[in-house]
Amino acid sequence: MPHRLSRRPSDIAPPDRERSLLAHRSIVASPVVRTSDRAGALSQIHVMADRPHRLHRLRSMLEPRFAVTAGLLGNEIVRAGPDEAVVVDVDLRSTQNILAVRASLGDPDGGGKRIFLIDDTSHLSRSQAYALGASRVLYGPVDQAALLKVLYGTIPVGPSPASEIASTALDVANALGRMFVEATHGAILDIKDVQEAGSRMAEAISEHGLAEWMDAVRRHHEGTFQHLLLVAGVVVDFGVSLGVRRRTDLERLYTSALLHDIGKAVLPVTVLDKPGPLDTSERGLVQTHSIVGCDLLRDNAQISDEVFDAIRHHHEFLDGSGYPDGISGGSISDLVRVLTMSDIFSALIEHRGYKNSLSREAAYDVLCGMRGKLEHPLLVAFRQVALHR
C-alpha cells in the first residue's frame, strides 16, 4: 500500500473552551396558547435558553402562533413527542452548558425535533449541536421569519422519500457531530456510529437516488457537515455506478468519505470559518488536516489500511502536484482516486457563504479541465454520476 503513515501524536492541540456556567437560573412560565392552524402538525414547542432576554425574545417570536413552554437552562427536563419541537438558544462553548443541555434533553436520538440557535458560527459549536441531537442549526441573530420557516416545515405530513432521506442525512450529521466533539477534546474516536449511519445512507441513496440525497443535504446542512455528507453521497453513488456491490467495499467507500476531513476538527476555527479566500499561511495550515486526521485515528483498530491511506492522500494528484506527500501515478490507490474526484466535485457544488456554488454541469467541466491530475477513464465514468444520477 502506498505511503503508510507513522502514527504519532499531533502537534496541534485543541484549544481550551471551558467557561463557567450561569450563576443564576430561574423558570419563566409561559401560558399554553392554542396552536394556530398554520402551525400544521406541531402541537407544542419547548424553548430553552441560558439568558432571560433570549428566552423572552424567542417567546415573542413564537406566541401566539404555537403553544409554548419556556424555561432557563437547567430548570426542567424536556422530553418532546414526535409532533413537538425544542428550540435551544444556549452558548455551546461552555462545557457546563453542554452537560446541562444533555441532561435536559436526554438521548440525542430521542423524540421531537431540536432546533439549535447559535451565535458562535464555529465548527465546534456546530458539531456540538449535532452531537446533542440537532435537527437544524440556525446562526444568530436569528430573525422571526427564519425561525418560523424552519418550524412550519419541521414535521412532514406523512412519510415521503424526501422526509426519509432527510432523516437519514440528519442521523449521519448527528453521528459526525459526536465524533468531531470527541476529536476536539482529544478522546479516542469510536467510528461505529458513523459507520452504522453511513450504512443507512448507502441504503437511502440506493433506494431514492443521489439527487434526492444532495437536495436534502443542501437544504438542511452547511459548512463541514454539508461537505462531508455530499462527498459521502457522491462516493457511494460513484462506487455503485462502477459496480461496487459488496457490503465491505461500500463500507470502505463511505467510511473514507465521512472521515476524510476529521483532521479539521482540531484546526483553528478562525481559519476554517474564514468568510473568504485563505492567505498562504492559512492555506498551509489547512493542508495539514489530512495528516492530523490520520493522527487522530492512529490507534483505531476499526480503520483499515486502505481507509487510512485515503484519509491521508485525498488531496494527491496523478502528476505529483498534490499534498501532503506529493505522490503520483501508481502510488495513488483506486480508493483515493475515487475519493479525490468526489471531494473536488462536492466542494464545487456546495453552498458556502463567501462563494457561489456551481451547477453540476459547471463543476464537471472544472474536473475535465484538470488535465493530468485526475484519471481520465475514471473521469469519463464519473460523468453519469455528476450530471444524471
- Residue spans of alpha helices (H) in the chain: 52-62, 95-105, 123-131, 144-152, 161-184, 192-208, 210-220, 223-241, 247-259, 269-272, 280-286, 289-296, 305-313, 334-349, 360-368, 376-388
Which amino acid is it at 220? H
Q: Is-same-fold flag (37-152; 161-388)?
A: no
User: What's domain 37-152's architecture?
Assistant: 3-Layer(aba) Sandwich (3.40)
- pLDDT at 4 exceeding the cut of 60: no
Nearest to 235 by CA among 219, 250, 217, 215: 250
| Higher-pLDDT residue of 356, 68 | 68
Task: Tell me how crowded residue 100 is: count the other CB atoms within 10 A of its CB.
Answer: 21
- 330-375: per-residue pLDDT in tens? 999 999 999 999 999 999 998 776 677 899 999 999 999 999 999 9
CB half-sphere exposure, 140, CA atoms < 13 A: 15
- pLDDT at 254 exceeding the cut of 80: yes
Fold classification of 161-388 (topology level): Hypothetical protein af1432 (1.10.3210)
Q: Distance between CA atoms of 310 and 332, rounded to whole angstroms?
A: 9
| Whole-Å CA distances, 128 to 54, 161, 182, 195 | 20, 28, 10, 19
- 287-309: per-residue pLDDT in tens? 999 999 999 998 888 899 999 99
Nearest to 111 by CA among 92, 130, 148, 86: 86
- 167-210: per-residue pLDDT in tens? 888 889 889 988 988 888 788 888 999 999 999 999 999 888 99
Share of the chain above pLDDT 70, in %: 83
Q: Is the pTM of this model over 0.75?
A: no
- pLDDT at 157 exceeding the cut of 60: no
pLDDT score at 353: 62
Domain boundaries, the chain: 37-152, 161-388
- 213-249: per-residue pLDDT in tens? 998 888 766 777 889 999 999 999 999 999 998 999 9
Q: Tell me if the bond preceding 324 is cis, omega within 30° of 0.
A: yes
Cβ atoms 112, 82 nearer than 8 A:
yes
- pLDDT at 49 exceeding the cut of 50: yes
